[in-house]
Chain A
Amino acid sequence: MTDVAKASAKPSAPPLRKPAAEASAPVRWWHTQRGRERLFHLLFLLPALLYLVAFFGYPVVQNLLMGFQRYGIATFYTGEAPWAGWDNYAAVTSSAVFSRTMLNTALFTVCSILAQFGIGLAIALYFRRRFPLGGVLRALLLLPWLVPVIVSGTVWRWILDQDNGVLNRLLGGLGLGTPGWLTDTSLALLSVIMVNIWLGIPFNVVLLHSGLQEIPRELYEAAELDGATGRRAFRYVTWPLLRPVVTVVLVLGVVYTLKVLDLILGLTGGGPANASQTLATQSYHLSFRTFDFGQGAALGNILIAVSLVFALLYLRANRRAVDE
């Protein structure tokens, strides 16, 4: 009984290890005040845990298994998907598209991230100064990020249209030619990257801006006394203090960019001739266009493995950011 009284009087005390062991035999841990509290919280947690297991845990495990199975259209009627060992992995990695897909994914991710971050940081630094309507303008910048991605894809598809797009009308008017932004194999990937940069800038601006706001103004005043202003202030004050946020922004950016699918499907569908095909879009094509779910899963698993590397980096970065 003393345990109970103590528990309810001091709710912030560390949990009692095994209250049942100290009490007389028939009293179980869930009979104590603290134990009931715990049980209550566990019940609160249960639906979410079940959901996460069903909609994230199960798909990941199932996808791993599917990567080793042979799927055909018939599979969805008979339910039979025979074990195929590493065949799917051998098939996807030896296919002619694979190296192209890997290269595209790397180029798409690296170029998008570097440009998004660079431009995002520049805009965040600009909007750091105080001027009339600054807050309103910064808020408006968010719009591209809030609009459904497939909408942005559709709009850009029309802007970049070779014959009727507004971009080529402008370029043609200036006598600079009318390139097929989305239909030329040498330009499609570049166009997709450009649109993805546009799409990612708001996210970078918001996170970097809130990171910048956390840097105390006094530090700049102190730095100014030491003669560090402008570029030197950025080099010695802003950048070192922004570093934890920068790491998080970059790693999150990579993980999100690897997953991009809507945008590419809306703009080019991965074409022409796989010129803008990435791991994510190719996985979609294999599963839902050619109905080879085994190969689609294998490619999806490769995508997960790449993401996982960056996810681990994120955790390390996040932990450091929390520690500091």
Chain B
Amino acid sequence: MKPTVHTAFGALIVAVMLFPVYWMVNVSVQPPGSTLTTPLIPTELHFDGYAQAFEDQGGNLLTSLTVSLASVAFSLVVATPAAYALARLRSRWVSVVLLAILFSQMIPGIVVANALFSAYNQLGALNSLGGLILADSTHGIPFAILILRAFLGGVPASLVEAARVDGAGRVRAFVSIVLPVSRNALITAGLFTFLFSWSDFLFALTLTTTDDVRPVTLGLYEYLGAHVSDWNTVMATATLSSIPALILLLAAQRYIAAGVGSGALK
């Protein structure tokens, strides 16, 4: 077979797999109230859905962004030094810690939420940004430690020693030598941590009881409970919620391949 035939068939596979994503965008640009007769291809673009989505969910989008960025910062600050230490320490406890991290990724979110709810309730951390940021970081920190360790282990020890000989302290050597050469790994870990927090729904659902802190994932879910008729608004919200994933896919493809591979297998 010719390569172009392969490309055509490959494109068909992708088209079938991505049809729901296409449909989401298609419905989102329909005029309001016309969702019963959505054409297969949008004949004209209506942005009423997006206007309504921004009106309903603008604040929630901002909350999602705040929580996700803070979660990235927190996760990297906690995970990077730990990953470096785990790559450098020579001790049988290292494998114990790594094992614990692997197991932590298998603990069902509902179990964590169940216990955190009562703890947060006592600490007054329900409905707080900080509480949600910390909880959302459970998605990212173990993952970040695992992929960063795989990379930081490969940074030559001689680089650090050279800096130490030049009089740099340990922390300084770490910050000014190890971190810059690990830039790609840090970007990968950061991107995934962002995506994990952005996608979080379970903790938003369980650890908030009021409207004070409401990520867009929860806002979207509440549309479903309200029997909305304007699916163009719902799909516009869904599309807006997918933008980080799209950006990631288009702009940072090589980082994604690295992340998916190393995080799961190492």
Interface residues of A (CB under 8 A from B): 11-12, 14-15, 37-38, 40-42, 44-45, 47-49, 51-52, 55-56, 58-60, 62-63, 66, 76, 79, 123, 126-127, 129-134, 137-144, 146-152, 154-159, 164, 166, 198, 201-203, 206-207, 210, 245, 248, 252, 255, 258-259, 261-262, 265-266, 280, 283-284, 287-288, 293, 296-297, 300-301, 303-304, 307-308, 310-311, 314-315, 318, 321
Contact = CB atoms under 8 A, between A and B. Distances in A.
Nearest to A296: B114
A112 to B, nearest CB: 16
Interface in B104-141: 104, 106-119, 121-122, 134-135, 137-138, 141
A161 to B, nearest CB: 9
A122 to B, nearest CB: 9
Contact of A56 (B3, B107, B231): B107
A255 B106 contact: yes
A98 to B, nearest CB: 16
A1 to B, nearest CB: 18
Given A141-B17, A159-B20, A315-B102, A62 B115 contact: yes
28 contacts: A38-B89, A41-B88, A47-B82, A48-B82, A49-B82, A62-B119, A66-B118, A131-B10, A132-B4, A133-B10, A137-B13, A139-B257, A141-B18, A143-B249, A146-B195, A146-B248, A147-B21, A154-B235, A207-B264, A210-B261, A261-B108, A266-B221, A283-B110, A284-B206, A287-B110, A300-B111, A304-B111, A307-B108
Q: Ordered nearest first, which 10 A-B pairs have the shortest CB separation?
A: A48-B82, A59-B115, A131-B6, A148-B199, A146-B245, A44-B81, A62-B115, A44-B85, A41-B85, A131-B3
B157 A55 contact: no
Interface of B: 3-4, 6-7, 9-11, 13-14, 17-18, 20-21, 23-24, 27, 35-36, 38, 77-79, 81-82, 84-86, 88-91, 97, 99-104, 106-119, 121-122, 134-135, 137-138, 141-142, 145, 157, 161, 170, 174, 195, 198-199, 201-202, 205-206, 217, 220-221, 223-224, 231, 234-235, 238, 241-242, 245-246, 248-249, 253, 256-257, 260-261, 264-265
B20 A52 contact: no
A146 B249 contact: yes
- Interface residues of chain A: helix, strand, loop or mixed (majority): helix
A147 B112 contact: no
Main secondary structure of the interface of B (DSSP, over half): helix
B117 A287 contact: yes
Contacts of A143: 18, 21, 245-246, 249
Quick one: which of A42, A131, A134, A147 has the most chain B CB within 10 A? A147
A47 B17 CA distance: 41
Contacts of B195: 146
A134 B20 CA distance: 21
A59 B261 contact: no
Given A148-B242, A158-B231, A300 B85 contact: no
B20 A152 contact: yes
Nearest to A132: B7
Nearest to A306: B108
Contacts of A201: 17
Nearest to B206: A288
A150 B111 contact: no
A263 to B, nearest CB: 10
Given A255-B106, A304-B108, A11 B161 contact: yes
Contact of A198 (B17, B38, B217): B17
A179 B114 CA distance: 36
Contact of A48 (B99, B114, B145, B157): B145
Contacts of A262: 201-202
